[in-house]
A and B are shown apart, each in its own frame.
Chain A
């Protein structure tokens, strides 16, 4: 394998992986704050991207306006989901909560197909220049933008959890709900906020993917790809989620190359992360950065 190709594969992996990382981060955010495993994470991307696409094409809004309206909509969407569906299920067994998010995922996937059809739709062009030169490499502008957006979101998360009052309240709730409550943190509000932030961030990722590849129901597969990433990083570690996302992104690109050159099994791009997932679960079930759950009787 020559070095340029390897470099290209790793770069592609990192670009996609950064997006996985962003989605994984918003998945972990919900899990940390409210102990809900969100199987509908991919549908956040899907709904966000379709809403933005609809605003841009049907209503002819400029990109920035459509994007802002999408973010506002997703905030309300996340809060409503949490209040209407997830709040009545607090205290129910894990399986019920998982199934509720699975139900949401099916529902919104079908709803989006019903409203917008099954075909991939391209976004109207957003950048003036199609390609740019960076460090002597020809890069598509959208890829570059996607990398920048991912990095910005990660920075934003870091700032939010280290300095802002709400971020600190969220960390306190994740650490111990009762103690947080007794210190004046409104736990229901933190739950709702975590869902809103997660929905918004995922929608941003959805719009980015939509701009790159077009909007289609394939977007919801990002929600499934998140699982190898978060298991690798540990379910409750935000840093782990980012790293896990990057690793999964690089892994699937390399696996596809290896498959095309030597194995010819087909479909390794989709499946390789799941083989990795099973391996990790067998060897190190709590991931790279996850908290080990020690039980005492």
Chain B
């Protein structure tokens, strides 16, 4: 990928090259962005806040998958199963009288362990074979959820407690939003920092050329399995946040379509881009809303009656997901993050764009 840095932005030391924020402007932009988001509950209604919360935990899960797919070059078609495992684990921990704030991280760790187990084949497999192995993991875990009543409550599902910290209950959209925002910030900063360490660079090296990476002393099996563990950890935390938002977890939510949606977030956002995971998540969460709005716009008209739009809105949403994946792959394979960089570069270089 070519660098989009404008002329004059030279890095003259390793420290400058590995900094989180390349320029002072980008640092301020990030802080202001978070501050503006803090004001969201004052402006938006409950429905919009619900969407923002969904974007938040989806972005965490998508970021985990991006570390696996975008940074390490592995493939996983079973991310929703890990997400679900996190949701159930957190509910299970809360039932054993562990406070919710701890249970969320505990669920992340438990999911990471499961991720390591299913990542073990990843040490040997690549590409297609790995894709198929994780597909099997998806079905096996789904079957496990449906069967293990002590873990998931079986077909009936599992009820859990709202988030509580220092005697405060975060059980409404307006308050829970801040919890999700805090987790999003922590997880994104952690990921950005991970990519600056030796381990993070090792993951990228495994992706770029695994034989060269091995020659340079990087233990392939270790890092491939590790990236599965990290991805599962992120999925677990995201799943736990989901569980304490809805306060009810049931098996059907974590099917293969949901896994594919996570993959779509990563691809649409941009493989190997941390900010892209956020954009992809926002896109995929808002896409059904756009489809719904479009159908509402046409409702009552001749088109609506001929095509039965209102009754089949869920199929239209699924079709939109499929179409979005294909169109992005054909027309913008580097994702929204790349498009965003291009737009910024265009304005920076405005009169002299060549």
Q: Answer yes or no: A270 CB below 8 A from chain B CBs.
A: yes
Instruction: Please name all residues of chain A whose beta carbon is closer than 8 Å to the beta carbon of B298 when the two chains form the complex.
Output: none
Cα-based distance from A273 to B315 in the complex (angstroms): 29
Report the minimal beta-carbon distance from A137 to chain B, rounded to whole angstroms. 34
Q: Answer yes or no: A98 CB below 8 A from chain B CBs.
A: yes
Instruction: Please name all residues of chain A whose beta carbon is closer than 8 Å to the beta carbon of B324 when the two chains form the complex.
Output: 103
Cα-based distance from A198 to B112 in the complex (angstroms): 40
Cα-based distance from A266 to B149 in the complex (angstroms): 13
Q: Answer yes or no: B316 CB below 8 A from chain A CBs.
A: yes
Q: When each residue 68-100 of chain A gets 1 if its CB lies under 8 Å from chain B and 0 otherwise, what string results?
A: 000000000000000001001100101110111
Q: Which residue of chain A is the closest to B137 with respect to CB atoms? A: A278
Q: Answer yes or no: B275 CB below 8 A from chain A CBs.
A: no
Q: Answer yes or no: A111 CB below 8 A from chain B CBs.
A: yes
Q: Let me know if A235 and B318 touch, CB within 8 A.
A: no
B260 in complex: contacting residue of A106, A111, A227, CB < 8 Å? A106
B128 in complex: contacting residue of A94, A103, A267, A271, CB < 8 Å? A94
Q: Let me know if B146 and A106 touch, CB within 8 A.
A: no
Q: Answer yes or no: A135 CB below 8 A from chain B CBs.
A: no
Q: Which residue of chain B is the closest to A271 with respect to CB atoms? A: B143
Q: Let me know if A278 and B136 touch, CB within 8 A.
A: yes
Cα-based distance from A113 to B316 in the complex (angstroms): 10
Known A-B contacts A37-B128, A102-B260, A278-B140; the reply to A113 vs B333 at CB < 8 A is: no
Cα-based distance from A160 to B88 in the complex (angstroms): 52
Report the minimal beta-carbon distance from A220 to chain B, rounded to whole angstroms. 11
Known A-B contacts A271-B143, A277-B136, A281-B121; the reply to A92 vs B318 at CB < 8 A is: no
Q: Let me know if B318 and A109 touch, CB within 8 A.
A: yes
Q: Answer yes or no: B124 CB below 8 A from chain A CBs.
A: yes
Cα-based distance from A246 to B127 in the complex (angstroms): 26
Which of B193-201, B237-245, B263-271, B337-345 interfaces with chain A?
B263-271
Q: How large is the interface on B (under 10, 10 to 19, 20 to 34, 35 or more residues)?
A: 35 or more
Q: Answer yes or no: B181 CB below 8 A from chain A CBs.
A: no
Q: Let me know if A100 and B121 touch, CB within 8 A.
A: no
Q: Answer yes or no: B43 CB below 8 A from chain A CBs.
A: no
Q: Answer yes or no: A218 CB below 8 A from chain B CBs.
A: no
Report the minimal beta-carbon distance from B11 to chain A, rounded to whole angstroms. 28
User: In the complex, which residues 324-349 of chain B have their Cβ closer than 8 Å to any Cβ of chain A?
Assistant: 324-326, 329-330, 333
Report the minimal beta-carbon distance from A116 to chain B, rounded to whole angstroms. 11
User: In the complex, which residues 186-233 of chain A have their Cβ closer than 8 Å to any Cβ of chain B?
Assistant: 224, 227-228, 231
B211 in complex: contacting residue of A96, A265, A295, CB < 8 Å? A295
B257 in complex: contacting residue of A89, A106, A275, CB < 8 Å? A106
Q: Answer yes or no: A110 CB below 8 A from chain B CBs.
A: yes
Q: Let me know if A106 and B318 touch, CB within 8 A.
A: yes
Q: Answer yes or no: A105 CB below 8 A from chain B CBs.
A: yes
Report the minimal beta-carbon distance from B117 to chain A, rounded to whole angstroms. 11
B121 in complex: contacting residue of A105, A224, A275, A282, CB < 8 Å? A282
Q: Answer yes or no: A285 CB below 8 A from chain B CBs.
A: yes
Q: When each residue 56-83 of chain B gets 1 if its CB lies under 8 Å from chain A and 0 otherwise, what string results?
A: 0000000000000100000101000000
Known A-B contacts A106-B322, A270-B139; the reply to A96 vs B267 at CB < 8 A is: yes
Instruction: Please name all residues of chain B whose beta carbon is closer than 8 Å to the beta carbon of A111 when the two chains form the complex.
Output: 315, 319
Q: Let me know if B329 and A235 touch, CB within 8 A.
A: no
Report the minimal beta-carbon distance from B330 to chain A, rounded to whole angstroms. 5
User: In the complex, which residues 137-168 of chain B have their Cβ closer than 8 Å to any Cβ of chain A?
Assistant: 137, 139-140, 143, 146-147
Cα-based distance from A144 to B131 in the complex (angstroms): 35
Known A-B contacts A95-B69, A111-B315, A282-B121; the reply to A89 vs B128 at CB < 8 A is: no
Q: Answer yes or no: B133 CB below 8 A from chain A CBs.
A: yes
Q: Answer yes or no: A294 CB below 8 A from chain B CBs.
A: no
Q: Which residue of chain A is the closest to B212 with respect to CB atoms? A: A297
Q: Let me know if B330 and A88 touch, CB within 8 A.
A: yes
Q: Answer yes or no: B218 CB below 8 A from chain A CBs.
A: no
Q: When each residue 286-297 of chain A gets 1 if its CB lies under 8 Å from chain B and 0 otherwise, what string results?
A: 000000000101
Q: Let me know if B147 and A266 touch, CB within 8 A.
A: yes
User: In the complex, which residues 98-121 of chain B have their Cβ closer than 8 Å to any Cβ of chain A?
Assistant: 121
Known A-B contacts A104-B326, A107-B323, A282-B121; the reply to A265 vs B147 at CB < 8 A is: yes
Q: Answer yes or no: A274 CB below 8 A from chain B CBs.
A: yes
Q: Let me know if B315 and A113 touch, CB within 8 A.
A: yes
Cα-based distance from A107 to B312 in the complex (angstroms): 14
Report the minimal beta-carbon distance from A290 to chain B, rounded to whole angstroms. 10
Q: Answer yes or no: B191 CB below 8 A from chain A CBs.
A: no
Known A-B contacts A85-B330, A111-B315, A274-B140; the reply to A100 vs B129 at CB < 8 A is: no
Cα-based distance from A117 to B114 in the complex (angstroms): 38
Q: Answer yes or no: A262 CB below 8 A from chain B CBs.
A: no
Q: When each residue 167-193 of chain A gets 1 if its CB lies under 8 Å from chain B and 0 otherwise, what string results?
A: 000000000000000000000000000
Q: Which residue of chain B is the closest to A105 with respect to CB atoms? A: B322
Cα-based distance from A95 to B75 in the complex (angstroms): 7
Q: What are the 4 tightest A-B residue pairs by CB atom distance, in nearest-first order?
A: A107-B322, A103-B325, A110-B318, A106-B322
Q: Could you show 9 A-B contacts with beta carbons less than 8 Å apart?
A: A94-B131, A103-B325, A106-B319, A106-B321, A224-B139, A231-B132, A267-B146, A267-B147, A270-B143
Given pairs A106-B318, A111-B315, A297-B215, 20 additional interface contacts (CB within 8 A): A37-B128, A88-B330, A92-B333, A103-B323, A104-B326, A106-B260, A106-B325, A107-B318, A107-B323, A110-B315, A110-B318, A114-B319, A224-B135, A266-B146, A274-B135, A275-B136, A277-B136, A278-B133, A278-B136, A278-B140
Measured CB to CB, the residues of A under 8 A from B are: 37, 85, 88-89, 92, 94-96, 98-100, 102-111, 113-114, 224, 227-228, 231, 235, 265-267, 270-271, 274-275, 277-278, 281-282, 285, 295, 297
